[in-house]
């Protein structure tokens, strides 16, 4: 896709040229990372958490940038265009939309935000849109996809320039609708400001990403930004009012389409049964009632289903189509994904990496009344540390045996992360078990730093009737240790442990 546009034509009217005689070149791309600048690009020198993009202007120019956009004037060599804008990230998002001819204009576009459930809701909505005959693009944690095209997802919500460029490519390839996860980081950083959302969905808000947002109030404020990007008329905001923050949001936004089990929700179950095979029952909506049939498990997934149904209603889709889309929806990779085995045990790989998600998932699987409930988990490094004691407490409360291990330590020492989890286990009354005690029925925790060996150990302990949940990495096919990204897939490892133990046993 070759595009050239005059830099002044894609910046806000309020952008000020840095000098009187600043040139106005046609630029060939937009970029805020000097390491990715190509000849002819405009470089947005943005303030960041780690450093300031202005430090990298020289690097960007050396790679051929022809224009620089910053929030404060900077000295530039002659012949290089320079513009000052008041909010660099916001200006960059809108510039990207103009540069790539506004790829979401006129399309049905659903943005899904909330701490947990976003990926699940996007899968459900993708299926609903397909049932309605659409060809949706879907962007989120697992990948960025359209039909058979599947791009890797370095972020849940990419940087605005990458986002709009990908959407322009998908539009060219025939996308006629879009469903995307909109993370709180993305909302705080204006990554999705160049997207025309028609429907916004709020799933829930629980403790997460406080390393970045500071506190729950500012985390909530970031999530709320999605709803400021919606058209003002009624029925564009879909909010789960089973969640306390959802109730607050629904009160703040007039004309919200509410969903949940709570009295007063517009999209609500009339009668549903949750079993080990899924969720079935009648759902009432403002457009009529219908029979819901889904293979998803647990109350939390009922909330996700209601969010997806309500978003379908907000898109004006017929309820028969919504019903069909939900019925046909595939399972979500790495979300309560079941691994077949011949041990007579249930083995599930799940992406629970917050206290609330682990609580919801473990309390759901507890209802299966396993002989013994085992959980293997760790916590990510360079991320919200308060998740460590929170996940530990939940694991100790629900599991018979918690095997604490390494997740993605990133730049942190894995042993430090594990010791913070262990402190949480002890504070929650958990007992450290010796290796000899592991095959008995004593309750407690055990530490195995190596994730491969932790999974191996858990699998070796399984007896008929047991349930093992391997949590935290779900669909991920890597482990980030230091600056290395090594191949690692919990599902693969469980299968490998099963196969090896079958051979040796
Ligand atoms: C905390 C966070 O979101 N940080 C994002 C932010 O980085 P930053 O503010 O720290 O940037 P910085 O390192 O200070 O640098 C400032 C500027 O200089 C630029 N730079 C930097 C170095 C260089 O050599 N040249 C250069 O031009 C940077 O691109 C940046 O524009 O802006 C960068 C550029 O867009 C992002 O890549 C970066 O994502 C980091 C890598 C990240 O890990 N983000 C995660 C936490 C994230 O965004 N997660 C969400 C949520 C996931 C979920 O809950 O589902 C996601 O949407 O994926
Ligand atoms: N509505 C929900 N409430 C609480 N926990 C949930 C809910 N839906 C899913 N979960 C749990 O959270 C995990 C992640 O779910 P999902 O991927 O759908 O959420 P997400 O919001 O996209 O997460 P992320 O921010 O990591 O991308 C699941 O594996 C499950 O353990
Ligand atoms: N969306 C989450 C994913 C965490 C997954 C977990 N495996 C980890 O690496 O911490 C985040 O970016 O914090
Ligand atoms: Mg996600």
Residue 1 has pLDDT above 80, yes or no: no
Tell me the pLDDT band of 177, cut-offs 50, 70 and 90.
very high
pLDDT, residue 276, reads 81
Percentage of residues in the chain having pLDDT higher than 70:
100
- Work out whether strand 81-84 and strand 16-17 pair parallel, antiparallel, or are unpaired: antiparallel
Inter-residue contact 87 to 175 (CB < 8 Å): no
Annotated binding site for meso-2,6-diaminopimelate: 383, 407-410, 472, 476
Residue 19 has pLDDT above 90, yes or no: no
Tell me the pLDDT band of 449, cut-offs 50, 70 and 90.
very high
Ligand 2 atom 4 nearest Cα: 357
- Our answer on whether the CB atom of 55 is closer than 6 Å to any ligand 1 atom is no
Point out the ligand 2 atom lying closest to the alpha carbon of residue 474: 29
DSSP result, 146-205: ETTEEE--SSSS--HHHHHHHHHHHHHTT--EEEEE--HHHHHTTTTTTS--SEEEE---
* C-alpha to C-alpha distance for 225 and 459, rounded to whole angstroms: 44
Same CATH topology for 109-328 and 337-504: the answer is no
pTM over 0.80: yes
Inter-residue contact 364 to 296 (CB < 8 Å): no
Mean pLDDT of the region 154-179? 98
User: Structure tokens of 148?
Assistant: 């058979």
Tell me the pLDDT band of 394, cut-offs 50, 70 and 90.
very high
What residue spans define the domains of the chain? 5-99, 109-328, 337-504
Could you read off the pLDDT of 70-92 as tens digits, one per residue? 999 999 999 999 999 999 999 99
Ligand 2 atom 27 nearest Cα: 141
pLDDT, residue 503, reads 83
Inter-residue contact 386 to 210 (CB < 8 Å): yes
CB atoms within 10 A of CB 116: 24
CA of 37 to the centre of ligand 2 (A): 35
For the segment(s) 109-328, the CATH number from 3.30.1330.10, 3.40.50.300, 3.40.50.1000, 3.40.1190.10 is 3.40.1190.10
Inter-residue contact 445 to 430 (CB < 8 Å): yes
pLDDT, residue 138, reads 99
CA dihedral 125, 130, 135, 139 (to 10 degrees): 30
Identify which ligand lies nearest to the alpha carbon of 451: 3
- Our answer on whether the CB atom of 256 is closer than 6 Å to any ligand 1 atom is no
Q: In this structure, which topology does domain 337-504 adopt according to CATH? A: 3.90.190
Percentage of residues in the chain having pLDDT higher than 90:
96
Point out the ligand 1 atom lying closest to the alpha carbon of residue 184: 51
* C-alpha to C-alpha distance for 401 and 415, rounded to whole angstroms: 20
CA of 140 to the centre of ligand 4 (A): 6
Residues lining ligand 3, judged by CB closer than 6 Å?
Answer: 353, 380, 383, 407-408, 472-473, 476
Identify which ligand lies nearest to the alpha carbon of 383: 3
The 3-state secondary structure of 55-80 reads HHHHHHHHCCCCEEEECCCCCCCCCC
* C-alpha to C-alpha distance for 399 and 382, rounded to whole angstroms: 26
pLDDT, residue 20, reads 82
Which of 112, 353, 411 is the pocket-test mutation for ligand 3 (most atoms within 8 Å of CB)?
353
CB-based burial of residue 255 (10 Å sphere; 0-12 exposed, 13-18 middle, 19+ buried)? exposed
Could you read off the pLDDT of 327-337 as tens digits, one per residue? 999 999 999 99
**Of 96-105, 145-154, 229-238, 337-346, minimum mean pLDDT range:** 229-238
- Ligand 4 (ion): residues with CB under 5 Å are 118-119, 141, 181
Element (H, E) at 29: strand 29-31
Residue 109 has pLDDT above 90, yes or no: yes
* C-alpha to C-alpha distance for 499 and 493, rounded to whole angstroms: 10
* C-alpha to C-alpha distance for 409 and 174, rounded to whole angstroms: 40
Mean pLDDT of the region 405-424? 98
Could you read off the pLDDT of 271-319 as tens digits, one per residue? 999 988 899 999 999 999 999 999 999 999 999 999 999 999 999 999 9
User: Structure tokens of 219?
Assistant: 């985390």
Tell me the pLDDT band of 235, cut-offs 50, 70 and 90.
confident
Mean pLDDT of the region 455-484? 98
Is 5-99 assigned to CATH 3.40.1390.10?
yes
What's the chain's average pLDDT? 97
pLDDT, residue 336, reads 97
* C-alpha to C-alpha distance for 126 and 308, rounded to whole angstroms: 9
Inter-residue contact 423 to 415 (CB < 8 Å): no
Which residues, listed in sequence order, are joined to residue 338 by a DSSP beta bridge? 348
């Amino acid at each position: 896709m070759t595009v050239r546009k005059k830099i002044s034509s894609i910046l806000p009217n309020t952008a000020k040229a840095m000098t009187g005689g600043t040139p106005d070149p046609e630029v060939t791309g937009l970029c805020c990372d000097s390491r990715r600048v190509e000849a002819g690009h405009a470089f947005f020198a943005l303030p960041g958490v780690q450093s300031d993009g202005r430090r990298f202007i020289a690097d960007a120019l050396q790679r051929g940038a022809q224009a620089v956009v910053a929030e404060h004037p900077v000295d530039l060599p002659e012949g290089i265009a320079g513009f000052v804008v008041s909010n660099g990230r916001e200006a960059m998002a809108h510039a990207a939309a103009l540069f790539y001819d506004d790829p979401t204009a006129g399309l049905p576009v659903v943005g899904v935000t909330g701490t947990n459930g976003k990926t699940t809701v996007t899968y459900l909505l993708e299926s609903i849109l397909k049932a309605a005959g659409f060809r949706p693009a879907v962007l989120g944690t697992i990948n960025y996809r359209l039909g058979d095209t599947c791009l890797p997802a370095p972020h849940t919500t990419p940087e605005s320039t990458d986002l709009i460029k990908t959407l322009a490519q998908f539009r060219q390839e025939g996308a006629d609708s879009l469903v995307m996860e909109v993370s709180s980081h993305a909302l705080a950083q204006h990554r999705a400001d160049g997207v025309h959302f028609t429907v916004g969905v709020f799933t829930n808000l629980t403790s997460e990403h406080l390393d970045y947002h500071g506190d729950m109030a500012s985390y909530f404020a970031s999530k709320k930004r999605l709803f400021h990007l919606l058209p003002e008329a009624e029925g564009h905001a879909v909010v789960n009012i089973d969640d306390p923050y959802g109730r607050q949001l629904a009160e703040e936004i007039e004309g919200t389409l509410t969903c949940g089990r709570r009295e007063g929700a517009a999209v609500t179950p009339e009668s549903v049964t949750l079993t080990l095979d899924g969720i079935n029952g009648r759902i009432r909506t403002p457009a009529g009632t219908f029979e819901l049939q889904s293979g998803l498990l647990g109350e939390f997934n009922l909330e996700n289903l209601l969010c997806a149904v309500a978003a379908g209603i907000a898109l004006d889709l017929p309820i028969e189509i919504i019903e069909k889309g939900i019925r046909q929806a595939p399972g979500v990779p790495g979300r309560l994904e079941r691994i077949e085995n011949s041990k007579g045990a249930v083995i599930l790989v799940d992406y629970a990496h917050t206290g609330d998600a682990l609580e919801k998932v473990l309390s759901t699987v507890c209802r299966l009344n396993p002989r013994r409930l085992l959980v293997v988990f760790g916590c990510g490094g360079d991320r919200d540390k308060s998740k460590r004691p929170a996940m530990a407490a939940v694991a100790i409360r629900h599991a018979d045996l918690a095997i604490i291990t390494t997740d993605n330590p990133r730049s942190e020492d894995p042993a430090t992360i594990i010791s913070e989890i262990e402190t949480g286990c002890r504070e929650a009354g958990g007992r450290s078990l010796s290796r000899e005690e592991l095959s008995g029925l004593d309750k407690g925790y055990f530490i195995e730093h190596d994730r491969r060996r932790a999974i191996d150990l858990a699998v070796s302990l399984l007896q008929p009737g047991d349930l093992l949940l391997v949590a935290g990495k779900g669909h991920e096919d890597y482990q980030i240790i230091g600056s290395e990204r090594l191949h690692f897939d919990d599902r693969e490892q469980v299968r490998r442990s099963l196969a090896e133990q079958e051979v040796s046993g």
